[in-house]
Amino acid sequence: MEPAPFHQLPGDPLVPARTFWVRSDDGVRLRLGLWEADRPDAAAGTVLLFPGRTEYLEKYAPIARRLTAAGLHVLAIDWRGQGASDRLQADPRPGHIRDFADYQRDVVEMVVAAGELDLPRPWHLLAHSMGGCIGLAALEADLPVDSAVFSAPMWGINLRRIQHGVALGIAYLAGRIGRGGLPAPGSGGSIRTYLLDESFSENLLTHDVDEWARLLREAAHWKDLTIGGASFDWVGKALNECTRLSRIASPEVPMLVSLGSEERIVSGQAIRDRVARWPGAELLEVPGARHEVMMEVAPLRDLFLQAALRRFGAA
């Protein structure tokens, strides 16, 4: 594992992650980041943090701080195609994937690194949005964690303006004519960065103006870490993976999942369907929350984090 860069805004008082490069079995270079518990010798375990689409390690520094203060190590990843990890096509801007199963290659490298670093057990999964889709597939493949916490997991996508079958058909045709790597209509385009182009009043992520401002500053300072809209290939592969996961049995892992009342990005119905089929699963409904409860106003953020820590502790 070779050292990798970690970015901080001027005046940021948070302890930076220890970041390093690893390489997947198909040659993609990935960036991992480790935050250690405040008392490393007495750590109560390790959280494997699976971010969502478009995200990067630095975004989760404040959340990592909450977890390390609670006595947990945190290991996070930049998925292939985003953050500082290798992009997957000549145009680095669209969020792109050739096969959703490729994300499991990244998970393998993360688990290998956790073992090589001898991170304290038990290990726990904390996954947001697309990371929740990757996380459920990883649990299906026996991810070695004792509990799982999901924030608005992408177990289905809220397409809003287009039917599921139509979106799949368009993505398929784009791939057949060699345009699968182009940004899909309605996904934001190749150049756009959601935070820089959306107004706070219309955003689908958070009600917290301070968190929005922080994320906006990050996107402006570190444009190379950001990506634009999803490619046709990403959309098609993501829809297919959500359908596949909807048919699998629920893992035998204690689980908590949050769903905000103002969720408009992922499918709330898919989350409810999974909870109904997951024995012992806990659904935390968060009134007033948008998509990113960990970046929401303090009372909503605290509600989720306290529930997550209880789940980790119970495991």
The CA distances from residue 29 to 22, 32, 79, 223, in Å, are 6, 10, 10, 19
For position 193, what pLDDT does the model report? 82
User: Looking at per-residue confidence, does 190 or 106 come out higher?
Assistant: 106
> What confidence tens digit (pLDDT) does each residue in 257-304 have?
999 999 999 999 999 999 999 999 999 999 999 999 999 999 999 999
Lowest mean pLDDT among 198-202, 288-292, 304-308: 198-202
pLDDT at 101: 97
Taking only the tens place, the pLDDT of each residue in 81-104 is 999 999 999 999 999 999 999 999
Query: Could you read off the pLDDT of 158-191 as tens digits, one per residue?
Result: 876 665 655 666 665 666 677 677 877 765 554 5
- For residues 144-153, average pLDDT: 98
pLDDT at 114 over 70: yes
pLDDT for the residue numbered 164: 63
Percent of the chain with pLDDT over 90: 84
Question: What pLDDT, on a 0 to 100 scale, did the predictor assign at position 314?
Answer: 77
pLDDT of residue 109: 98
What pLDDT does 226 receive?
Answer: 95
**Residue 108 pLDDT greater than 90, yes or no:** yes
2: confidence class by pLDDT, cuts 50, 70, 90: very high
What is the model's pTM? 0.95
Return the pLDDT at 184.
79
Residue 75 and residue 32 in contact, taking contact as beta carbons nearer than 8 Å: yes
Q: Which amino acid is at 257?
A: V
Beta bridge partners of 272: none
DSSP code at position 25: T
The answer to whether the CB of 257 falls within 8 A of the CB of 150 is: yes
What is the pLDDT averaged over residues 36-57? 96
Q: How far apart are CA 312 and CA 96, in angstroms?
A: 32
Q: Residue 288: left (phi > 0), alpha (psi -120 to 50), or beta?
A: left
Quick one: average pLDDT of 11-33?
A: 97
In this prediction, residue 191 carries a pLDDT of: 55
Which residue type does 66 have? R
Which residue, among 72, 64, 78, has the nearest Cα to 106 in the 3D structure?
Answer: 78
User: Which DSSP category does 315 fall into?
Assistant: -
Q: How far apart are CA 243 and CA 250, in angstroms?
A: 14
Please give the pLDDT value at position 77.
98
Residues 61 and 8: their CA atoms lie apart, in Å, by: 9
- Mean pLDDT (the chain) is 93
Ordered structural domains, the chain, with CATH: 2-314 (3.40.50.1820)
**In sequence order, which ranges of 124-163 are alpha helices (DSSP H)?**
130-140
pLDDT in tens, 213-267: 999 999 999 999 999 989 999 999 999 999 999 999 999 999 999 999 999 999 9
According to the model, what pLDDT value does residue 161 have? 60
pLDDT at 160: 65
